[in-house]
């Protein structure tokens, strides 16, 4: 039998790289224990919700056509509602992605003449077109829904004065993005989101507070709905799909707002009653069941990457000692060669398409070429090991995911190997 070290060599990681990795890993033991505790807590939360709702094999059979009386779909939605301590949930494969889920939640709960407020700075890129910050067909702006934004203060904290000033009698809904996404601000903890929601409700008690929860699910023991969020929205090809969901999104929160979203997603008059689950129910249940552990593996990967690249002298964001509220790790690699080498390492570690070489290309919506590495079972899944970055200074790579901690670790070691092979680092 080959030893573990030999296995790493066989797959393409030198002893020297492995040794550095093991040293860094050893320094993270306590961090990993804390991450495991969070996963354990969340595992019990999900398990309890499944037991309480008496999940049985009958729930996995799925429906076709209109999807009336789909017990599996309805029970899964009740499980999501229970895990989020919310009144209601919409969990559907017909929601194509995170942006779609956010658009449905927004468009469903806003009416012409209303104003949408982002109290925590610029939202995720794709929302710019949803809102109409950048013109797009069918944007909220085209329907006469205006937008106001209060930027964060220099230190990343909420600008409460500016927020108070931007609330008016038309302000209907506030959208708060938990994860920094690909911006350079810190990710908000659920507690901080709670403070912001309390402030907003004090200024305007009937304001609907919606949280873009993408990448945040199960990183903490509580979710935004535990601290007053009226709506919480995310993608099933990120954390809550557990890597198994092949598509889908969720909207969870107060009954009246989730109901609006259901009427928007399907049709006025139909709402939650329709929507065939086809053969996907069992996968969505099982993915949600695995999600706490999968998320923990991805967080360990992010912390490990931060610690390893800190050791190699690169600026990392957040730093390795930062408590995580999402799964994204950014590393400034300083040169186009290093960015390419990093992505090639991630690609080489993939279970799918490990033999392809990622190349930078011009992507719509970006002002420079972008390089992406992903060898995923599900197209575009960013709970699976993936990395990308625009080819411009400071050549930041955004790294996330990993269905298991061991795979995340292998991917990061591979990235170091590629940098070493290209003489871009020494140690």
Ligand X SMILES: *Cc1c(COP(=O)(O)O)cnc(C)c1O
Given the rule CB under 6 A, which residues bind ligand X? 97-99, 124, 126, 177, 179, 181, 212, 214-215, 235
CB closer to ligand X, 250 vs 414: 250
The strand ranges marked E within 119-170 are 146-149
Exposure class string for 231-258: b at 16+ Cβ within 10 A, else e: bbbbbbbbbbbbbbbbbbbbbbbbeebb
CB closer to ligand X, 176 vs 307: 176
CB closer to ligand X, 63 vs 175: 175
Contact in structure between 359 and 382 (CB atoms under 8 Å): no
Cβ 128 to ligand X, closest distance in Å?
11
CB closer to ligand X, 97 vs 420: 97
Q: For residue 260, with 0-12 CB atoms within 10 Å meaning exposed, 13-18 middle and 19 or more buried, which class applies? A: buried
Cβ 382 to ligand X, closest distance in Å?
7
CB closer to ligand X, 124 vs 285: 124
Structure tokens at 58: 């009958």
Cβ 1 to ligand X, closest distance in Å?
41
CB closer to ligand X, 378 vs 416: 378
**Long-range contacts from 350-354, C-beta under 8 angstroms, 24+ separation:** 350/374, 350/375, 350/376, 350/385, 350/411, 351/375, 351/377, 351/407, 352/376, 352/377
Structure tokens at 241: 């799909």
Q: Cα(191)–Cα(154) distance, rounded to whole angstroms?
A: 20
Cβ 96 to ligand X, closest distance in Å?
8
Residue nearest to ligand X (CB): 98
Q: Cα(215)–Cα(179) distance, rounded to whole angstroms?
A: 6
Contact in structure between 228 and 201 (CB atoms under 8 Å): yes
CB closer to ligand X, 84 vs 250: 250
Cβ 97 to ligand X, closest distance in Å?
3
Cβ 329 to ligand X, closest distance in Å?
13
Which is it for strands 386-390 and 396-400: parallel, antiparallel or unpaired? antiparallel
């Amino acid at each position: 039998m080959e030893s573990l070290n030999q296995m790493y060599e066989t797959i393409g990681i030198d002893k020297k790289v492995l040794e550095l990795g093991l040293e860094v890993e050893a320094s993270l033991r306590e961090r990993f224990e804390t991450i495991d505790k969070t996963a354990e807590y969340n595992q019990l939360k999900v398990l309890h919700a499944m037991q309480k709702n008496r999940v049985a094999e009958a729930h996995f059979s799925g429906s076709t056509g209109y999807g009336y009386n789909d017990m599996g779909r309805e029970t899964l939605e009740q499980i999501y509602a229970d895990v989020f301590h919310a009144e209601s949930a919409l969990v559907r494969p017909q929601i194509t992605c995170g942006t779609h889920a956010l658009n449905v939640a927004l468009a469903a709960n806003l009416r012409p003449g209303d104003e949408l407020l982002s109290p925590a700075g610029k939202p995720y890129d794709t929302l710019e077109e949803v809102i109409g910050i950048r013109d797009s067909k069918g944007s909220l702006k085209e329907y006469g829904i205006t937008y106001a934004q209060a930027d964060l203060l220099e230190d990343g904290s909420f600008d409460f004065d500016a927020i108070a000033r931007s609330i008016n009698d038309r302000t209907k809904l506030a959208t708060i993005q938990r994860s920094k996404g690909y911006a350079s601000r810190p990710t908000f903890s659920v507690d901080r989101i709670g403070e912001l929601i309390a402030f907003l409700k004090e200024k305007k008690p009937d304001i609907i507070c919606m949280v873009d929860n993408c990448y945040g699910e199960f990183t903490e023991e509580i979710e935004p709905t535990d601290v007053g969020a009226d709506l919480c929205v995310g993608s099933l090809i990120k954390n809550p799909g557990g890597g198994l969901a092949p598509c889908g999104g969720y909207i969870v929160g107060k009954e009246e707002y989730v109901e609006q979203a259901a009427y928007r997603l399907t049709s006025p008059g139909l709402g939650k009653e329709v929507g065939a689950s086809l053969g996907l129910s069992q996968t969505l249940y099982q993915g949600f069941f695995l999600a706490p552990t999968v998320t923990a593996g991805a967080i360990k990967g992010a912390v490990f990457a931060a610690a390893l690249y800190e050791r190699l002298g690169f600026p990392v964001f957040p730093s390795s000692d930062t408590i995580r509220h999402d799964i994204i790790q950014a590393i400034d690699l300083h040169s186009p060669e290093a960015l390419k080498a990093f992505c090639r390492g991630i690609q080489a570690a993939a279970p799918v398409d490990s033999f392809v070489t990622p190349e930078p290309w011009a992507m719509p919506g970006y002002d420079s070429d972008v390089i992406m590495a992903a060898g995923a079972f599900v197209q575009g899944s960013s709970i699976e090991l993936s990395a990308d970055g625009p080819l411009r200074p400071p050549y930041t790579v955004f790294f996330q995911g990993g269905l298991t901690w061991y795979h995340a670790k292998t991917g990061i070691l591979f990235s170091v190997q590629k940098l070493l092979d290209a003489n871009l680092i020494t140690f």
